Amino acid sequence: MGKQPPSTNLFIWKRMKISVIIPTYNERENLETLVVRLHNCLSSHAHEFIIVDDDSPDGTCELARKLSAGYPIKVVLREGKRGLASAIVDGFKEATGEIIGVIDADLQHPPEVIRELVEQIPQCDIAIASRYVKNGKVEGWPFLRRLVSRAATLLSRPLTRVKDPMSGCFLTKIAVIKDIKFNPIGYKILLEVLVKGCYKKVKEVPYTFQVRRHGQSKLGFSEYLKYLKLLLRLYQYKFITGRRQV
């Protein structure tokens, strides 16, 4: 990547469009609240929401289509439950913005953190909502889940120095991911972006990961196995190519 845009380019940056990818599976109870809050956060920017639904039986896709009458929403329906990471990659293909965002639909990432990420983008290439920087927090996790999350983060350390590379909420300039050949598996697309992307500077913004109010977590034992498989792929990629990472 070249030099970061100087402050005189702030006007141009303000005119850039932001595309936010929202992968969904059985998130009908959360979706409208998420869309309204995100729309309010991004009111000073041109923006679109790309909702990629894995054929939710609870009517998530139908609600998304209704919401598109009042909000800038594009709906992508995929038959069968194919996974969060691949849903995000399909969303990337539909995005028309110069800045690409990702946020889970479960409201565990408060949508307002997107506004803070947007404020960082003029000075960096990737902005990440982080649980593990100073002032970042996690609500309501039992000890075992905290331990597993920390262990997963430690396993990624040879790949990136980012403290929360498994975050489900981030923004990136389109140039970062333009030439990536994604091989998505499981839930952790950010780690693949960090290993394969073209960037110079990353900024982590603290936030509080909140307790899910509606719906059920999709994280199970099979996802841990997929994460280990992802790590193996990315270790191979990094050490074969020898690319410098942040």
Say how far apart CA 4 and CA 123 lie, in whole Å.
6
pLDDT band at 1 (very low <50, low <70, confident <90, very high): very low
Of 45, 40, 48, which is closest to residue 11 (Cα–Cα)? 45
Q: pLDDT value at position 220?
A: 56
Q: What is the mean pLDDT of residues 6-31?
A: 80
Give the other-Cβ count within 10 Å of 239's Cβ.
Answer: 11
Average pLDDT for the chain: 88
**Phi, psi (rounded to 5 degrees) for 128:** -125, 135
pLDDT greater at residue 74 or residue 226: 74
pLDDT greater at residue 100 or residue 213: 100
Q: What is the mean pLDDT of residues 5-19?
A: 65
Residues 6 or more apart in contact with residue 56 via CB below 8 angstroms: 24, 25, 26, 27, 28
Architecture of domain 7-241: Alpha-Beta Complex (3.90)
Q: What is the mean pLDDT of residues 162-179?
A: 95
Of 67, 87, 85, which is closest to residue 77 (Cα–Cα)? 87
Give the other-Cβ count within 10 Å of 81's Cβ.
Answer: 15
Comparing 24-33, 138-147, 183-192, which segment has the lowest mean pLDDT? 138-147
Q: pLDDT value at position 242?
A: 55
pLDDT (tens digit per residue) in 129-141:
999 999 999 987 7
Structural domain boundaries of the chain? 7-241
Answer yes or no: is pLDDT of 109 > 90. yes
The DSSP annotation for 43-74 comes to TTS-EEEEEEE---TTSHHHHHHHHTTTS-EE
Q: What is the mean pLDDT of residues 238-245?
A: 66
pLDDT (tens digit per residue) in 47-99:
999 999 999 999 999 999 999 999 999 999 998 767 889 999 999 999 999 99
Q: pLDDT value at position 141?
A: 76
Answer yes or no: is pLDDT of 25 > 90. yes
